[in-house]
Structures are given as structure tokens and as C-alpha cells.
Amino acid sequence: MKPNDDSATAESHPSAGRDPDGDRSPHCSANCGCCGHDDEAHDHGDREHGSSRAESISLIVSGILVGAALALHWSRLPAAIVGGISAAAMAAGGWFLVPKAGRAIRRLRPDINLLVVVAAVGASAIGEWVEAATVVFLFGVAEWLEGWADRRARRAVEALLEIAPKHATVRRDDQFVEVPVEEVQVGDVFAVKSGMSIPLDGEVVAGASAVNQAPITGESVPVDKRQGDTVFAGAVNGEGSLEVRVTKTAGDTTLAKIIRLVKEAQEQKAPTQRFVDVFARYYTPIVTGIALLIFLVPPLLFGGDWSDWLYRACVLLIIACPCALVISTPVSIVAGLTALARRGVLVKGGAHLEAIARLDALALDKTGTITEGRPTVQGVEIVGPISEADILRLAAAIDAHSSHPLARAVVEHAHRRGVAFPRALDYQNRSGRGAQGFIDGHAYFVGNHRFTHELGVCSEDIERRLAAIETRGQSVIVVGHRPHDDCAGGVLGIIAVGDTVRENAVQAIRALHAAGVRKVAMLSGDNQRTAAFIAQQVGIDEVRGDLLPEEKVAAVKSLRAQHAVVGMVGDGVNDAPAMATATVGIAMGVAGTDAAIETADIALMKDDLDKIAETVRLGRRTLAIIRFNITFSLGLKLLFLALTLVGFASLWLAILADTGATLLVVANALRLLRPGTTCVPRT
């Protein structure tokens, strides 16, 4: 469908959110103006999360020395002693800042490291040693907090890796032996005892049990598994015992794919994040220039006190540090993506998460989305001089070539009725219409209402029969002779096929409206009467039937002309063109289906309509948190800028406000990782 943004997989580096050159916070992006890294460092260095032992010890030592300096300062001890301890505190807590500040000067790109160094040097120059040491220490704490927040959000997904066992009990020469999962091959059979986690994807060949597959699909209720059913790595077996044939190796399991995709998604930038990066890139040097003017202009032009205005300039430099602003978006995006992954929803990046949060209209396919997707034959009407068994024989002979749900229903019904049938020759699929082929040397067709008109075999009698079936909400499969050579063609029979509306469909559509989706439309290849009957049952706003694949694309374009953000829900394969046309394409029930997972912008692992509304709600909640964090960060900066200009702000307040803002936006973003936090008021 849509090409994914370029991304790089992040790994860990022992430096509290800095790159191998020591320049980069894990949440920061190239040229953001926050941490001062260059594109070359971004390209060649993989990022790592975690604090190096040396830097952690440095912060602890710096904190102890700052506390001692404060105590001595309040005890009115000589300034030389206080200054010496403060200088030691700055050296312990900021030894990594000076090289970075030097690089920022060489690049002519002021960054947060340079701002802190200049502020600390300026405060020391006017004798405010304790404040200078406090600035350096609290900046180190803020950096550690940012790195911790990023690690916390990312490890929530990486923890999924730990739920799949590292060994499997595999059958070898009629005996079961334990081997590493990496050595297990496709086709091997492994055993799963009760209460154990399933090590690899596979198909049950013996046994029966209820399996908890919440890590994969987000389902809270265990699912019964028996012979022929699919199980996933990471799912937990219940009371029964299973034997499973491996269908995917360790690196290709659905769980491994989920983790890979979520990691890639975390590296992609959302529109809001790109805006913040650009803003910070220009914001920091502008405020640095303002600080220089504040230091120089009042003393030079108005006779102001140099020490007083240097102090105010230092305060302004600390205020300019955009830590909270820059971290506000990426940590929220990572937390939102992780929270959805835990619920069995894969979102391919922050851009798609923001899109689903702004969703105005949603188009749904009918079969398999609104309905169960398991239609059954409800009846057979004879039109020509032929028996019901013969109609089933002809239809099944052609439909045996197709995987369409309606075709499968006909074939299964023929089997249940004991009707033997050959496979039609020269089979041809007519997309969105039906199919045709040769049986016993004669040309036959099976198809929908539209196909009968195109073939010229729909009479008034056939029209009445079809209308009566369609009014009942059933689909029609017309069986007949195809016009061919000297044969005029004609209808031999009509098969009525009915699909069951999902139990939660009505509730799911209501939930979508409650989540703020203004219009829910159903796009179906089925006839208009059947589609309208189903839509009326579940409360859908708009229904369009008789649509070919290209007409579904046109319908989505029409919705996009009316609404800013449009989603399309389908199976990820047949509806791919319409899903690609939508702002965001959503595939349902794709657990274990590699093609659908790769195709969609958002993939719902479980075939559950409720997950769509849940995704919209959590997306809106994520966007609301991002907006609050940005507004709060900017508002706090503006407040302290004003206080600095009138002389009411100090270095103490500036650094405490900056660190406090960072801590608040981090805590606010990480609320998304709490279970059950998806509700957000409709706006």
C-alpha cells in the first residue's frame, strides 16, 4: 500500500540516551537543536539505551557535592570553600558537557549542552558557584530522565520477546528432546505441556486446549485450539496438551514480526514530531542571540550593571533549553504505539497513529468485517430444466477454483449434500462479477446480479427472483449457460447465500461514532439491496453496493473529498487499492498473515470490530497528551522568559522549572502504557 517512512532500528548504547559520540538523546532527531548532533553521527551510529556506570556514578557524586555546597553556603562558611566544592560538583556532573559544547561552537549550531556550559561559566564568573553547580547537576538529572523515559516505553515492547520460550520440546526419532528454538525447522513437531508458553508458530496436529494468545491478538479470553488450528509463539497453553507442527522458524514468527514492525514504527517521525524538531532547530539559536543582547545592550547603552545582566542572560539560556518540548512528542508516540501493540494492534508509525487520531470518516468492507465472513447456502431456486443437485454440481465445479467466501460456501454445501463435481476447465475469474469455465464441454458461469446483466441473461422473472432474495439481506449466485458460439445462454438456477452479522457489529459502530468518527460507510461488492439491509441492521450511515474494486477506490476518493482523514478497513489483499487510497488503511484479523501485516498501515491481529474504535480512542488520547505537553512546555518557557526580563527569575527557578517540565511531560506520556487508559472525551 503506502510506502513506509525510512527508519532505522534502534539498539542500546551505554550512555543514558546519547549516541556513540555522546551527542544524542534517544528521542532526539537530526538538526532538532536540542542535543547538538549531526547527520553523520545519526547515520553511522546505532543508538543504545541505558546509563553507563561511569555517568550514573558521576551524577551521584555531583548530587552529594551539590548538597554539601548548599549546606556549607547556608552555614555562612568562607566563599572559597563553597566555591571549591561547587567546582568539584560541576566537574563530576558535567565532564561530558564541555566536549559537546566545543563541537556545537565549531558547527555554529548552539545546542542545549552549550547553553548549560555558558550559563554555568557565567554564574561562576559573578560568584554564584552553588547555583552554577546546581544547574549542571539538575541538567544531568533531566538528561537521565529523558533516557529513562525512552527506555521505559521501548522495553515494554521488547519484553514481548521474553514471553516466547528459548527452547522447544521437539520430536526426534520418536522421542521428544529439548532443543534451542533457533535449531527448529519448518515441519518439525513440538510438544506443549499445560501452562507452558508456545515457542513457535505452528498448526496443531494432536490434542486440544484453550490457549491465551493475548500477546498476539489482544484477546482477553483464551481461544479453544484443536487439530488443524493455528497457534502463535508467545501464546500460553491452558490445561490441555498439544502437539504442533512448525510453520515458521524463530525469526519469522508472528511475534517476531510484531516486535520488528513496532521497533521500526517507533523510529518513524510523526508530523507533530517533525514540526517540533524544526521549531527547536530555530528556537534555540534565536533565544541564544536574545540572551547575548540582554547581556550587552543594557550595560553598554543604559549603564546597567554587568553582573546583574550577565546573571539574567544566564537565566535566559537555561530557560531556552527545549528539553521538555523536544521529548514531548516522541515519548508519547512510542508509548502510544506500544500500548496498541499490547492490545493486538500494529500501527506502522507515528504518522499513521496521528492519522487515526484525526479520523473523520471510516469505510468498511462488508464480508468479513461487518459480517462473520462465513456465509452459508440458504436455499437453491431452480429456473431451468435441471435438478437442485445439478445446479450445485455446476456451481461447485467452477467455485472449486476460488477462495472467495461465497465460493467456499457453495463448495462446502455441495460436499455436505454429497454432490460429486468435477473441476471446471478453462477457469476464468471475472473480478467483482463471478467466474466462468467449461464443464462436460459446455460453457457455464456463476456470478452476481451485475454479471447476469452484462451477459444479457437477466429476464423480468429472474429480476423478480433476485430482488426477493436480496431484500432478505442474502447474496445471490446465479448459475447458468454462458453465451458462447451458437449458445444464447440462460439462467439455470439461483443459489441464495446468507452471512451472519457479527454479534458486536452494532456496538462497534456505536463505539466508532462515540469516539468521534463522523461518518461510517460500508463499501461492498454485493448488491445494493443486500448491502443496505445489512447496513440498516448495524446502524451504518452510508452504504454503497455493487462496487467493483476500482469503484471502491472511487468511493474512497469521494469520501476524502468530503472529509479530511478517511480510513478504509479491509482484508489487506482484495481491498488493497481502496486501502491505499484512504488516508489510513486498516486490515482486520491478520494474525499469522504476513502479506496483510505488511500491506496495511494499521493491522488488527484479531478479527474484532471493537479494536477499531479502541485504536481511534487511544490515538486521540495520544494526540491530546502530545498537545498538552507541547502547550505546557512552551507556556512555561514564555512565563519564565517574561520573569527573566523583569528580574524575578533566578537560575534556581529556571533549572527547576526545566527539569520539572521534563519530568511532567515524561510522566504524562507514560500514562499511555497503563492498561485500560483508552477513553478520551469526544471533541
DSSP string, 638-665: HHHHHHHHTT---HHHHHHHHHHHHHHH
Domains of the chain: total: 2
Query: pLDDT tens digits, residue range 374-410?
Result: 788 999 999 988 999 999 999 999 999 988 888 999 9
More confident residue, 554 or 216: 554
Query: pLDDT tens digits, residue range 457-481?
Result: 999 999 999 989 988 888 899 999 9
More confident residue, 44 or 149: 149
Among residues 439, 405, 617, 629, the alpha carbon closest in space to that of 525 is found at 405
266 confidence band (pLDDT: 50, 70, 90): low
* pLDDT over 90 (residue 518): yes
CATH of the domain at 246: 2.70.150.10
Report the range out of 208-222, 290-304, 657-671 with the highest average pLDDT: 290-304
Mean pLDDT on 115-140: 76
11 confidence band (pLDDT: 50, 70, 90): very low
513 confidence band (pLDDT: 50, 70, 90): very high
Query: pLDDT tens digits, residue range 139-191?
Result: 777 667 666 656 665 565 556 556 678 889 999 888 889 999 889 999 999 99
34 confidence band (pLDDT: 50, 70, 90): very low
**Cell numbers for 372:** 462473520
Mean pLDDT on 337-360: 86
* pLDDT over 60 (residue 47): no
- Structural domain includes residue 348: no
- Structural domain includes residue 18: no
pLDDT at 45: 32
- Structural domain includes residue 461: yes
CB contact set of 245 (below 8 Å; sequence gap of 6+): 187, 188, 189, 202, 203, 205
pLDDT at 425: 95
- Structural domain includes residue 427: yes
- Structural domain includes residue 95: no
pLDDT at 527: 78
Given the residues 111, 150, 365, 658, select the one marked as catalytic: 365
- Structural domain includes residue 185: yes
106 confidence band (pLDDT: 50, 70, 90): confident
* pLDDT over 60 (residue 46): no
pLDDT at 602: 87
CATH of the domain at 484: 3.40.1110.10
Backbone dihedral region for residue 572 (phi beyond 0: left; psi -120 to 50: alpha; all else: beta):
left
Boundary residue ending a domain (458, 480, 498): 498
Long-range contacts of 645-649 (CB under 8 A, 24+ apart): 645/294, 645/312, 647/308, 647/312, 649/312, 649/315, 649/319
| Contact yes or no for 483/455 (Cβ under 8 A) | yes
* pLDDT over 60 (residue 32): no
Boundary residue ending a domain (446, 477, 498): 498
593 confidence band (pLDDT: 50, 70, 90): low
Mean pLDDT on 209-237: 79
- Structural domain includes residue 600: no
Boundary residue ending a domain (469, 498, 527): 498
Among residues 344, 340, 370, the alpha carbon closest in space to that of 354 is found at 340
Query: pLDDT tens digits, residue range 535-561?
Result: 988 999 999 988 877 788 899 999 999
Q: 426 lies in which domain range? A: 376-498
**Cell numbers for 327:** 521529548
318 confidence band (pLDDT: 50, 70, 90): confident
pLDDT at 42: 35
- Rounded to an integer, what distance in angstroms lies between the CA atom of residue 656 and that of residue 312? 16
pLDDT at 148: 65
- Rounded to an integer, what distance in angstroms lies between the CA atom of residue 655 and that of residue 30? 25
- Structural domain includes residue 37: no
Q: Is residue 43 annotated as part of the catalytic site, yes or no?
A: no
Q: How far is CA 20 from the centre of its chain?
A: 28
